[in-house]
């Protein structure tokens, strides 16, 4: 919303400066005074506000929007489908939908030897992408003799109700069944059916998940303890909800990741937002920004460029791995270090925006293959994750003036609500997730009612600030690594893995072995009885 930006004195001059007060009646003077006051209020409250980033918190689902079918799978699996109820919590006769899942039984010990089932809780995207980027499960399955199952989350990938994505995403009514609760029920029903079909009802199940999938794994262990014996929840921000962690946490951690590499790099980025805003006030300035950042299309508003840059910085913090990777983009090891090297390394006379462009190229074009850049990262319109963020996955985000390299921004629920009403016609329910799954006083709750959960986090990951970072009990354990990034422990091992990562995975394996051994002992005792 744009308003004429005038100071109070300019408003007074505009309204009264060229007109003699003697020509007005007392009533007219009062009207003018009222107008001046109202106009001043508009100026005070609607002057240009700090940058408001995209309201949906950033996970990795956008990178799983397309399938990996064009590439041969690194890990083998069969693709199967299971007919799921559209609504698990009513008795209405609604149409079912095919839930896709990937399965591998090559190493499974079978039902007679109570071979375990490793079950990955599918995220907000195509399940094949997540399966190919979760090598840890595939690598440890042989030593456990485990079956591996990757179910797809409803409304993502090929697991869409109503026959097509277009129909499923049509409106708030058709999207209303896209919730974490329904997804967990899907997983539980699918597991129950699989165990029956494989005569494996006594086989232990271990849950895995990263990011949103990690949240689902932790919640599923708590909500369906009879379904699974334990859960590895990697980079799972189950506390990133209202009044639990400060809303500045995410962007403060992103900023700290850059500042730890270079204070000057941090300062250049912090300065760049004002440069972009001042340059983009005119059409000529927008053209200059288009050319400076090598954009494919003419930049129409600076907000689009803000979002594009903020996406790069946030994702760089999430995948700031110590070795080269192609998880999101082709990136070097320690990518933030390389970004800052390029930002700081410009010769004398290099402008701030030219430095920023050189830095962001590490993320968007490290291979040098891109000819220009498209800013629109969601060309298909409605996003399933945006829907979830507008309904129950309400994660407040702010940017602090002191410690953030981003423009200051104060989270405003009512503005957020307006955006959700405008986009989907729904009002968010910010307290629902903590009502359904808990979150407040989580340590006491998990100590009393939780067991066999690993919360693993790397402190370079901006989502770590919303996760569990302390051991809660002997069986609810927090594994924290200073140099770790977004669920790096779930990725396939490489020759370049640092020692701390090797040790972290060994600890996770020992804990999972303990869960399964305890299950076998208890199961044997039950059979003896």
Q: Which residues are catalytic?
A: 211, 461, 486
What DSSP string describes 482-513? Answer: TT--TTGGGSPP-TT--HHHHHHHHHHHHHHH
If DSSP states are collapsed to H, E and C, what string results for 324-363? CECCCCCECCCHHHHHHHHHHCCCCCCCHHHHHHHHHHHH
Distance CA 460, CA 503 (A): 18
What's the burial of 156, exposed, middle or buried (CB within 10 Å: 0-12/13-18/19+)?
buried
- Residue 66 sits at the vertex; the CA angle it makes with 294 and 361, to the nearest 5 degrees, is 25
- CA–chain centroid gap for 256, Å, is 19
Which residue has tokens 């790099």?
265
Q: Which residues contact 313 (CB under 8 A, 6 or more apart)?
A: 254, 258, 269, 405, 406
Neighbours of 95 (CB within 10 A): 10
Distance CA 154, CA 94 (A): 15
The 230-234 sheet, strands edge to edge: 78-84, 97-104, 147-151, 117-120, 205-210, 230-234, 453-458, 476-481
CA–CA distances in Å: residue 237 to residues 240, 245, 352: 5, 10, 34
Cβ-contact 207, 489 below 8 angstroms: no
Q: Which residues pair with 98 in a beta bridge?
A: 83
Cβ-contact 392, 429 below 8 angstroms: yes
* CA-based nearest residue to 429, from 384, 386, 383, 389: 389
């Amino acid at each position: 919303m744009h308003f004429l930006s005038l100071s109070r004195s300019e408003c007074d001059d505009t309204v009264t400066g060229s007109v003699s007060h003697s020509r007005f009646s007392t009533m007219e003077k009062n009207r003018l005074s009222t107008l001046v006051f109202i106009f001043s209020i508009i100026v005070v409250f609607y002057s240009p506000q700090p940058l408001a980033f995209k309201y949906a918190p950033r996970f990795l689902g956008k990178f799983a929007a397309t399938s990996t079918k064009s590439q041969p799978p690194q890990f083998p699996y069969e693709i199967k489908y299971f007919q799921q109820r559209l609504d698990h919590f009513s008795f209405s006769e609604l149409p079912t939908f095919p839930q896709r899942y990937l399965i591998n039984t090559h190493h499974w010990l079978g039902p007679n030897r109570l071979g375990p089932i490793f079950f990955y809780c599918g995220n907000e995207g195509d399940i094949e992408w997540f399966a190919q980027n979760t090598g840890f499960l595939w690598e440890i399955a042989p030593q456990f003799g485990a079956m591996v199952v990757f179910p797809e989350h409803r409304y993502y990938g090929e697991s869409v109700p109503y026959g097509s994505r277009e129909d499923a995403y049509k409106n708030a009514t058709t999207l209303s069944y896209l919730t974490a609760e329904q997804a967990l029920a899907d997983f539980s029903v699918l597991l129950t059916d699989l165990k029956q079909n494989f005569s494996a009802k006594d086989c232990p199940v271990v849950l895995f998940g990263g990011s949103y999938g990690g949240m689902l794994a932790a919640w599923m262990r708590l909500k369906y303890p009879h379904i699974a014996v334990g859960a590895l929840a990697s980079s799972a921000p189950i506390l990133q909800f209202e009044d639990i962690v400060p809303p500045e946490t995410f962007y403060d951690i992103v900023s700290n990741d850059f500042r730890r590499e270079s204070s000057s790099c941090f300062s250049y980025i912090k300065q760049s937002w004002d440069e972009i805003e001042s340059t983009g006030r005119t059409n000529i300035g927008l053209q200059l920004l288009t050319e400076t950042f090598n954009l494919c299309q003419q930049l129409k508003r600076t907000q689009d460029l803000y979002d594009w840059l903020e996406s790069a910085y946030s994702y760089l913090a999430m995948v700031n791995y110590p070795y080269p990777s192609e998880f999101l983009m082709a990136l070097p090891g320690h990518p933030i270090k390389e970004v800052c090297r390029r930002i700081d390394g410009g010769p004398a006379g290099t402008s701030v925006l030219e430095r920023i462009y050189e830095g962001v190229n590490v993320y968007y074009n490290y291979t040098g293959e891109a000819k220009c850049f498209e800013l629109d990262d969601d060309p298909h319109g409605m996003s399933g994750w945006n829907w979830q963020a507008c309904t129950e996955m309400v994660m407040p985000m702010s940017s602090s003036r002191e410690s953030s390299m981003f423009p200051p921004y104060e989270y405003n629920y009512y503005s957020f609500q307006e955006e959700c009403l405008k986009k989907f016609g729904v009002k968010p329910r910010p307290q629902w997730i903590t009502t359904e799954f808990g979150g407040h006083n989580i340590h006491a709750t998990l100590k009393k009612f939780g067991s066999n959960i690993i919360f693993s986090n790397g402190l370079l990951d901006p989502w770590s600030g919303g996760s569990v970072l302390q051991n809660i009990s002997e069986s609810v354990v927090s594994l924290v690594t200073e140099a770790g990034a977004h669920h790096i422990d779930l990725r396939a091992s490489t020759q370049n893995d640092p020692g701390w990562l090797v040790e972290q995975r060994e600890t996770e394996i020992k804990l999972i072995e303990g869960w399964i051994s305890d299950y076998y002992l208890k199961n044997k005792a039950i059979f003896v009885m």
